[in-house]
């Protein structure tokens, strides 16, 4: 494939990564929209339903580092394709479950199977896009997280009512298998992979040691740990609007959707600003994100029910851009700090740190709300944004080469 063909084909690569991630997120987030049906059918309690979602997250987290190390040694095409197929097979198995423990096992295995998609697709973006387009491409790819969640939330209840909740898992699994097979058929390997995979014999331990010893990757990963407070914001946002600002639940749901839409819009927007306006600087844009995050949380801490709904909508959009729209730029920066040879390992490592944050912050902020109030929780979120600002300020950006 010559240079001109590669320039056009990179958008096909982005589409492959995007569709794969949409299906993966639809599978990972499938329990939420199907919870009422599963709970009644299997006679489960709320704790057991929550354990299904936790099982996916734990399986996903366990797979991230080994998957990243494998991606740096094996053609990413095979890793993306087989990860999608494996996740699809295990989510299909949910069609046959008869009780809680079977569900926990298969959801955990599904999460484990899908764990390789993030480091593999991040490596694909790193290889196929230059530093002038990379953050934009990564931001577009990460909109698939929001799209996958919306797709499942809209389609699964309708399909479950028309057939059964089991058929929803079957449909999601078959779609994953189909996308995985299409990936193996369509995806072409980047020339850089051919040139390096054969000679990359460094041990897993040495690769991981290089990542851990990289101060800048550690700093960015810590910021990611703090930034996953977004999951606490999403968890308690409607309750905050209802109990503190006296909004109806339906209106609160609309404002939550506005928050998430702001995040989906922010991911490619921040990437575009980084690529085209900031001359490829990820650090400068990340500092802007941390500033918006900090200021938005302070505003929410001071918000009162006297404020107009239209004004709150605007604030929600900007808060969502900062608190949800950071991930595309984050993974671009991590990939560039690691370099092409270690992008999979670095992505896996930072994703584990992010997963720990996603498990920690909803519980921690929930306790703060119970012990104090929402205002204190928002101020804590603001402090996390301020700390993140100074951590990013200490990062030394790496010059990136043109692909």
Q: What is the CATH number of the domain that holds 348?
A: 1.20.1250.20
Q: Residue holding tokens 């909803």?
A: 362
* Exposure on the CB side of residue 78, measured as CA atoms within 13 A: 9
pLDDT interval class at 198 (50, 70, 90):
very low
The answer to pTM > 0.95 is: no
- Split into its structural domains, the chain has a count of 2
The reply to whether 196 and 212 lie within a common domain is no
The reply to whether 128 and 269 lie within a common domain is no
The reply to whether 214 and 151 lie within a common domain is no
The reply to whether 253 and 191 lie within a common domain is no
The reply to whether 343 and 366 lie within a common domain is yes
Residue 1: partners with Cβ closer than 8 Å, 6 or more residues away: 9, 188, 191
Judged by DSSP in three states, 375 sits in helix
CA end-to-end span of the chain = 14
pLDDT interval class at 69 (50, 70, 90):
confident
Tokens of 376: 């204190």
Whether 384 is in a domain gets the answer yes
The reply to whether 220 and 186 lie within a common domain is no
Q: What is the pLDDT of residues 251-293, one digit of tens each?
A: 888 888 888 889 989 999 999 999 999 999 999 999 999 999 9
The reply to whether 145 and 118 lie within a common domain is yes
The reply to whether 142 and 224 lie within a common domain is no
Whether 151 is in a domain gets the answer yes
Whether 402 is in a domain gets the answer no
pLDDT of residue 16: 94
The reply to whether 77 and 173 lie within a common domain is yes
The reply to whether 296 and 352 lie within a common domain is yes
* Exposure on the CB side of residue 254, measured as CA atoms within 13 A: 10
* Residue among 57, 40, 35, 43 nearest 358 (CA): 57
Whether 398 is in a domain gets the answer no
368 sits in which H/E element:
helix 343-371
pLDDT of residue 358: 85
Whether 401 is in a domain gets the answer no
Full domain range(s) for residue 40: 3-201
The reply to whether 188 and 226 lie within a common domain is no
Whether residue 1 has pLDDT greater than 60: no
């Amino acid at each position: 494939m010559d240079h001109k063909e590669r320039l056009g084909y990179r958008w096909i690569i982005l589409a492959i990564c995007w569709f794969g991630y949409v299906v993966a997120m639809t599978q990972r987030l499938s329990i939420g929209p199907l919870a009422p049906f599963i709970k009644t059918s299997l006679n489960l309690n709320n704790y057991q339903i929550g354990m299904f979602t936790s099982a996916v997250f734990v399986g996903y987290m366990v797979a991230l580092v080994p998957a990243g190390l494998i991606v740096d040694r094996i053609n990413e095409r095979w890793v993306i394709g087989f990860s999608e197929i494996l996740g699809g097979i295990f989510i299909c198995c949910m069609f046959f479950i008869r009780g809680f423990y079977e569900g926990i096992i298969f959801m955990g295995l599904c999460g484990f199977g899908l764990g390789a998609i993030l480091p593999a697709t991040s490596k694909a973006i790193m290889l196929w896009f230059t530093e002038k387009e990379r953050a934009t491409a990564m931001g577009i790819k990460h909109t698939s997280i929001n799209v996958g969640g919306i797709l499942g939330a809209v389609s699964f209840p309708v399909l479950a009512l028309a057939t059964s909740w089991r058929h929803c898992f079957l449909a999601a699994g078959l779609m994953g298998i189909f996308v995985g097979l299409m990936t193996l058929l369509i995806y072409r390997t980047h020339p850089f992979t051919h040139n390096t995979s054969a000679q990359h014999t460094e041990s897993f331990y040495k690769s991981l040691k290089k990542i851990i010893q990289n101060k800048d990757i550690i700093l960015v990963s810590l910021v990611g740990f703090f930034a996953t407070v977004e999951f606490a914001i999403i968890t308690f946002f409607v309750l905050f609007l209802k109990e503190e600002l006296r909004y109806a639940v339906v209106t609160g749901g609309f404002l939550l959707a506005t928050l998430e839409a702001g995040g989906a819009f922010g991911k490619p927007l921040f990437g575009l600003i980084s690529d085209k306006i900031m001359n490829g600087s990820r650090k400068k844009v990340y500092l802007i994100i941390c500033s918006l995050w900090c200021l938005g949380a302070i505003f929410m801490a001071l918000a009162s029910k006297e404020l107009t709904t239209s004004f709150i909508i605007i604030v929600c959009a900007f808060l969502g851009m900062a608190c949800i729209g950071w991930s595309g730029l984050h993974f671009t920066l991590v990939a560039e700090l690691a370099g092409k040879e270690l992008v999979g390992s670095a992505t896996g490592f930072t994703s584990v740190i992010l997963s720990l944050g996603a498990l920690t912050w909803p519980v921690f902020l929930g306790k703060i709300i119970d012990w104090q109030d929402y205002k204190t929780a928002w101020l804590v979120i603001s402090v996390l944004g301020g700390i993140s600002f100074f951590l990013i300020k200490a990062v030394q950006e790496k010059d990136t080469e043109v692909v």
